[in-house]
Amino acid sequence: MPVPTLTFNDGHTIPQLGFGVFRVDPDETERIVTDALEVGYRHIDTASFYGNEGGVGRAIEKSGIPRDELFITTKLWNSDQGTQSAFDAIDLSLEKLGLDAVDLYLIHWPVPSRNLFVETWKAFEQIHADGKATSIGVSNFRIEDLERLAAETDTVPVINQIELHPLFTQLPLREYGAAHGILTESWGPLGHAAVNNVRRAADRRRGGRPRGVTGSGDPALAPAERAGRDPEVQLARADGAELRPLRLRADGRRGRGDQRAEPRPPLGRAPRQGGSGLRAARAEVWRPTARRAPRAASSPAAQKALPRRRPSRGRSGSR
């Protein structure tokens, strides 16, 4: 089944489903990406920080797939922000990938504390003009970061790759992107270990009762939201986040629109690596357990006579 595409604000397109290689062992990357290409993936997402661009490049070279049928994303790491550092970083990434240009180049994190992402974005504009990146975008940017780019530079990012899943829907950020022609790309679209562990712990503390909901309509995942303000902390806690297939959203639809059916992964043999690609795309669905309240006692003596019942633990759904 062909994978649908979405159109960037610069006129280029991106496959709606991609294969990410975050936390894939560099020694295993070539084999795993080869498997992904064999089952039909054509959008591969890597980053300099992952340390496996070389494996991606070798898999591309050996695949025999025409370059114009592939869509390759890589990202600039925090320590490479700045004008000359960005120029050097893209050259090194292209060398490892064995490519003349990537289809999409992203600033991995804004890192506002360094105050270099605007300067870096101007360098990205030059990288794009030099033909080393067909399209340029950002990752993990907040609304205020995007507004700075709009105020201080000439190019609107084509995409913002962010954490996005049923437990962290980021509706205001998605609506901002939709209003300004910025596609939203999801990493960890089915959640990831850090978020799932936070949820399970919270469920146990609450005896399985539903958690509170924030004013934006997102479940109250304060630990995950706090981590979102600290890129290094969140990245360190994201166990295998980008091994899930990436999903893109082109709009800001609410409610059940967020749960709509999306294209299935390409059919065929699943990658052999159990912790990557298709086999990692499993969701844990929280199902609240119905509980019947004990009958009210008619007197203090009767209340004492009622047996004490230990609250049963809430259960997460099957993996």
Instruction: Tell me the domains of the chain and their CATH numbers.
Output: 5-305 (3.20.20.100)
List per-residue pLDDT tens for the chain, 319 residues long: 789 999 999 999 999 999 999 999 999 999 999 999 999 999 999 999 999 999 999 999 999 999 999 999 999 999 999 999 999 999 999 999 999 999 999 999 999 999 999 999 999 999 999 999 999 999 999 999 999 999 999 999 999 999 999 989 999 999 999 999 999 999 988 887 666 665 555 555 555 543 433 333 333 334 444 444 333 333 333 333 333 344 444 433 333 333 333 333 443 444 444 333 332 222 223 333 344 444 444 455 545 554 554 444 443 333 3
Spatial contact of 127 and 86, defined as CB atoms under 8 Å apart:
yes
Please choose, from the candidates 15, 145, 1, the residue with its C-alpha nearest in 3D space to the C-alpha of residue 73: 15
For the chain, the three-class secondary structure string (H helix, E strand, C coil) is: CCCCEEECCCCCEEECEEEECCCCCHHHHHHHHHHHHHCCCCEEECCHHHCCHHHHHHHHHHHCCCHHHCEEEEEECHHHCCHHHHHHHHHHHHHHHCCCCEEEEEECCCCHHHCCHHHHHHHHHHHHHCCCEEEEEEECCCHHHHHHHHHHCCCCCCEEEEECECCECCHHHHHHHHHCCCEEEEECCCCCHHHHHHHHHHHHHCCCCCCCECCCCCECCHHHHHHHCCHHHHHHHCCCHHHCCEEEECCCCCHHHHHCCCCCCCCCCCCCCCCCHHHHCCCCCECCCCCCCCCCCCCHHHHHHCCCCCCCCCCECCC
> Is 105 marked active-site?
no
Q: What is the pTM of this model?
A: 0.66
